[in-house]
Chains A and B, each alone.
Chain A
Amino acid sequence: DAGITQSPRYKITETGRQVTLMCHQTWSHSYMFWYRQDLGHGLRLIYYSAAADITDKGEVPDGYVVSRSKTENFPLTLESATRSQTSVYFCASRLAGDAEQYFGPGTRLTVT
């Protein structure tokens, strides 16, 4: 049971480049989420999805794009990376009607 995985685990990219972070879950959870975590801050919601083809903005969506064509995948794209997007990104999922979110291991992204 793989659960929820993220790739890559570490990424270094340059300012202005496009980068996509992948998230995959094997539980068929309908809800999926993307958070970023910066030193001194808690987790901040970027985008979430209630089902395939249904996405909505979170607290800090600017500069990010998401899609969800399949239930199990929820990629996050930084269209033109900036240094302020250097962070640890966590993907999470949960069952509809359930409270518990299950987090992936995180992707540490550095934008130089």
Chain B
Amino acid sequence: QQPVQSPQAVILREGEDAVINCSSSKALYSVHWYRQKHGEAPVFLMILLKGGEQKGHDKISASFNEKKQQSSLYLTASQLSYSGTYFCSQAGAAGNKLTFGGGTRVLVKP
């Protein structure tokens, strides 16, 4: 069963913040975040492991709450380059099989 992302789409002005949520009905061992720009391949942003750690990539950070089985991605002071579709994915215990969420489309306007 794939993780559920919300919202499905968000429109921002440059400099605004946004939060993308990812929740799962299965126990999460790790959460991986990817970004895909239109017509391009997905690009890895970060991985979060059990323990509620928070990571960052530029001004994009994320948290992982294993008890709630959810992760959140924070876009802070958004830039035009942040536009794209963001996918969360969950890995099983072995870490080999990723199950991706349906994606959140982000559009940052000037």
Contacts and interface: CB of A to CB of B under 8 A. Distances in A.
Contacts of A44: 100
Nearest to A101: B44
A40 B105 CA distance: 11
B103 interface: yes
A41 B96 CA distance: 20
Contacts of A48: 96-97
Nearest to B98: A45
A103 B103 contact: no
Given A90-B42, A99-B30, A41 B98 contact: no
Interface string A75-90: 0000000000000001
B99 A41 contact: no
Interface of A: 31, 33, 40-45, 48, 50, 56, 58-59, 90, 99-106
Contacts of A106: 41
Interface residues of B, number: 20
Contacts of A104: 41
Given A43-B42, A90-B42, A58 B97 contact: yes
Contacts of B100: 42-44
Interface in B14-39: 30, 32
Interface string B85-106: 0010100000111111111000
Given A43-B42, A90-B41, A101 B98 contact: yes
Contacts of A41: 102
B62 interface: no
Contact of A105 (B41, B89, B98): B41
B2 interface: yes
Given A31-B96, A99-B32, A42 B101 contact: yes
Contacts of B73: none
A102 B102 CA distance: 19
